[in-house]
Amino acid sequence: MKDILTAPFMVDMIRTVTNMYNHGWDERNGGNVSLLLEEKDVAEYLDVKQVLRTLETGFSAPELEGKYFLVTGTGKYFKNVQYAPDVNLGIVRLRDGGRQADLLWGYTDGGRFTSEFPAHMMSHVARMKVNPQNRVIMHCHPANLLAMTYVHSLDEKEFTRTLWQMCTECIVVFADGVNVLPWMLCGTNEIGEATAEKMRTARLVVWAQHGIYGAGADLDETFGLIETAEKGAEIYMKIAHLPLVNTITDEQLHQLEKRFNVKAREGYLK
């Protein structure tokens, strides 16, 4: 077997969560990431028949039966992943309709996957139905997006339009907009279900006064999606208290649609 720490998906995960920490998005043990893997890729590095232990998931997701995921652990600090990946990450395979997860690698200190695992898996199911290429769910706490939820309307159309107007790249990167949830108790199936419902229409879901969920085809795309939204929020927080002299107009946003072959969310532009 090959050394799993050399696997491209492992190298990308370690690099990404390290970047997330360095960006200030994942203080202490904040944030979590899950990556859907192909069995053939896992089998190059692990004996997929060798189960270390079985974990209860606390939810049901028949659509994910037999699926493999690389997932950050509960209570783990992203800053430590690069130094002890086998402690802070784990590879699991779902079974029993998603109610159980076989641990194939990782969590060597006796830990388990993130407490947001249900929210991740429900979001994976939702995004797979929209776009089967979406294999990543990423949750973090970017400061400016959090700050924006304190001073800006949580109306999804207004929130999205503000971000689009802050930075030329925003509508290009997330033309499907940003969905928003009011504050809810984290780590529950309820917030997982609500997030999954929002994931049906957008790849970004803001949790007010908490953080953001992003979905994408790979780790780079998902990181860049959140990074762009956070940049828009940063600009907004720098100018929100000032008189607005200029902005990106709807006409200009339509020009960006045509130039970059994207389609803004229906009804969000005049």
Please identify every residue annotated as catalytic.
116
**How many whole angstroms separate alpha carbon 159 and alpha carbon 254?**
18
Type of residue found at 84: A
Cβ-contact 153, 159 below 8 angstroms: yes
Q: Residues in the chain, how many?
A: 270
**How many whole angstroms separate alpha carbon 63 and alpha carbon 262?**
30
Q: Which of these, 149, 119, 157, lies nearest to 34 by C-alpha position? A: 119
Strands 204-207 and 211-216: antiparallel
Cβ-contact 224, 210 below 8 angstroms: no
Cβ-contact 164, 229 below 8 angstroms: no
Assign 3-class secondary structure to 140-195.
ECCHHHHHHHHHCCCCHHHHHHHHHHHCHHHHHHCCCCEEEECCCCCCCHHHHHHH
**CA within 13 Å, CB half, 63:** 11
The SS3 assignment for 31 reads coil
